[in-house]
Amino acid sequence: MQAMVLNELELTLVLTDLLDRLPRPGEIRGKVSACAVSRTDLHVVYDDFL
């Protein structure tokens, strides 16, 4: 699986290959075709609120 990962605050997101894991009891697996990062979350991470 590929994911955009933030390794440290104030650094850029990095495209990373992660191992797929099987769901545990009580969990389900879903397929995500697209997702986004909230612009507000990015402002919090980069501490650039005006």
Q: Is the pTM of this model over 0.75?
A: no
Nearest to residue 20, comparing CAs of 10, 12, 30? 30
Domain-wise residue ranges, the chain: 1-19+35-50
Contact 4, 14 (CB under 8 A): yes
- Helix (H), strand (E) counts: the chain: 1, 2
pLDDT attached to residue 10: 65
Tell me the pLDDT of the chain (50 aa) as tens digits. Answer: 888 888 876 677 889 999 988 999 999 988 888 888 788 877 777 777 66
Token pair 């397929």: residue: 31
- What is the per-residue pLDDT for 25? 96
